[in-house]
C-alpha cells in the first residue's frame, strides 16, 4: 500500500503520533482502549476500533467504533482497502485466536503494516498449585481429581465442556449471562473486572471454593483471583493460550505500540523484531 501522508512523528508528549491517516485497532481489551484513547487525542488521525460484539454492553473506546465480524480474512482485507487503512493493530484478547490469523493474512494481502499487542502471560509464584491444560475439555477432565466446588472464570463461552460434570458444583463468573449447555449445578455471578484481592478472598470463602479454572489472559484486572487461590491453598487449572501467527511484529503495551507506529509511518512498513 502506498502511504501518501507525511512522515509519522510525535506531536507532543500528550499526543501520540501524527502522519498516518487511518489506524484500525482490533480491540476489546484494556490495552486496545488505552491505545485508542492515546491515538484519538491526535486530531491528525482517524482511529477506528473494531469489537467482536460478544458482550452486550461493551466499554466503548475513544474514536470511531464498529461492532461485528468482517467475514474472514477476505472480508477484513476488503475493509482495509475500502477504508484506506494505513496501519492495523491486533489488540484482541489472547484467546481470540481466529481473528489474529485473519488479521495476519489480510494485512499481508493488502500490504498494510500489522502489529500484535500481546500482554505477557501469568507466571506461577511460590505457593501456587497450577495445573496447565491445553483446552477447556482438558480442564474438565482434570477437575474431578482436584475438587468439588469450582470457581469457573473462563467466560460464558465454552461452558458446554463442563456440562457433563453433574457431581461438581460451579460458580460461573461472566460479564453476560451464559447461553447454551451449562453445568447442571451452577450459580452465576455477572460481574466485570477489575477485581480486588479482598473481594476474591471473600468469594472463595463464601462459596467454599476448592478449585479455580481460568484462562491465561495475563490481565492485571483479573489476576487477584490467583493471589487469593494461592493464599487459600486452592489449586488452579490454567488453560494455556492458543497459537498465534508467526512473523508478526509484537508489542507488550501501549507505549511500545506507539513507537512501532512512528516507525511504520517513517518507513511505510512495520519494523521487524519489535
For the chain, the domain total comes to: 2
Same domain, 228 and 154: yes
| Cα atoms in the 13 Å half-sphere on the side-chain side of 125 | 10
Domain annotation covers residue 134: yes
Distant-in-sequence, close-in-space partners of 57: CB < 8 Å, separation ≥ 6: none
Does the pLDDT at position 81 exceed 80?
yes
Q: Which residue has the cell 482434570?
A: 142
φ/ψ of 225, rounded to 5, equals -65, -30
Same domain, 185 and 247: no
Domain annotation covers residue 84: yes
Residue 46 pairs in a beta bridge with 22
User: Where residue 14 falls among pLDDT bands split at 50, 70, 90?
Assistant: very low
Same domain, 27 and 72: yes
Does the pLDDT at position 131 exceed 90?
yes
**Which residue did the predictor score with more confidence, 16 or 203?**
203
Same domain, 136 and 105: no
User: From CA 233, how far away is CA 228, in angstroms rounded?
Assistant: 9
Q: What is the CATH number of the domain that holds 80?
A: 3.40.50.720
Domain holding 172, by residue range, is: 130-239
pLDDT in tens, 179-188: 889 999 999 9
> What local confidence, expressed as pLDDT, does residue 6 receive?
31
Domain annotation covers residue 272: no
Same domain, 88 and 41: yes
Same domain, 233 and 146: yes
Same domain, 184 and 198: yes
Distant-in-sequence, close-in-space partners of 210: CB < 8 Å, separation ≥ 6: 146, 147, 148, 149, 150, 234, 235
Same domain, 66 and 158: no
Please choose, from the candidates 152, 123, 139, 151, the residue with its C-alpha nearest in 3D space to the C-alpha of residue 220: 123
Same domain, 108 and 40: yes
Domain annotation covers residue 224: yes
Query: Residues of 228-261 as b/e, b for ≥16 C-beta within 10 angstroms?
Result: bbbeeebbbbbbebeeebeebbebeebeebbbbb
**pTM for the predicted model, two decimal places:** 0.79
Amino acid at each position: 500500500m502506498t502511504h501518501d501522508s507525511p512522515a509519522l512523528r510525535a506531536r507532543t508528549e500528550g499526543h501520540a503520533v501524527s502522519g498516518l491517516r487511518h489506524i484500525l485497532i482490533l480491540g476489546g481489551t484494556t490495552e486496545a482502549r488505552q491505545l485508542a484513547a492515546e491515538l484519538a487525542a491526535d486530531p491528525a488521525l482517524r482511529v477506528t476500533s473494531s469489537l467482536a460484539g460478544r458482550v452486550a454492553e461493551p466499554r466503548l473506546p475513544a474514536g470511531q467504533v464498529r461492532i461485528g465480524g468482517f467475514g474472514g480474512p477476505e472480508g477484513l482485507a476488503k475493509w482495509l482497502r475500502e477504508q484506506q487503512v494505513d496501519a492495523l493493530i491486533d489488540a484482541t484478547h489472547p484467546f481470540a485466536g481466529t481473528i489474529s490469523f485473519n488479521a495476519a493474512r489480510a494485512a499481508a494481502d493488502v500490504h498494510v503494516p500489522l502489529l500484535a499487542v500481546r500482554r505477557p502471560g501469568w507466571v506461577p509464584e511460590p505457593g501456587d498449585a497450577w495445573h496447565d491444560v491445553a483446552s477447556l475439555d482438558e480442564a474438565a477432565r482434570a477437575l474431578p481429581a482436584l475438587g468439588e466446588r469450582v470457581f469457573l472464570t473462563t467466560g460464558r463461552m465454552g461452558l458446554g465442556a463442563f456440562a457433563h460434570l453433574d457431581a461438581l458444583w460451579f460458580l460461573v463468573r461472566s460479564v453476560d449471562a451464559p447461553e447454551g449447555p451449562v453445568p447442571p449445578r451452577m450459580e452465576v455471578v455477572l460481574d466485570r473486572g477489575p477485581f480486588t484481592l479482598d473481594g476474591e478472598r471473600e468469594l472463595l470463602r463464601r462459596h467454599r471454593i476448592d478449585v479455580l479454572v481460568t484462562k491465561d489472559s495475563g490481565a492485571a484486572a483479573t489476576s487477584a483471583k490467583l493471589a487469593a487461590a494461592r493464599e487459600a491453598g486452592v489449586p488452579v487449572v490454567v488453560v494455556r493460550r492458543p497459537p498465534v501467527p508467526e512473523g508478526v511484529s509484537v508489542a507488550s503495551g501501549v507505549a511500545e505500540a506507539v513507537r512501532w507506529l512512528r516507525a511504520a509511518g517513517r518507513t511505510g512498513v512495520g519494523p521487524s523484531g519489535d
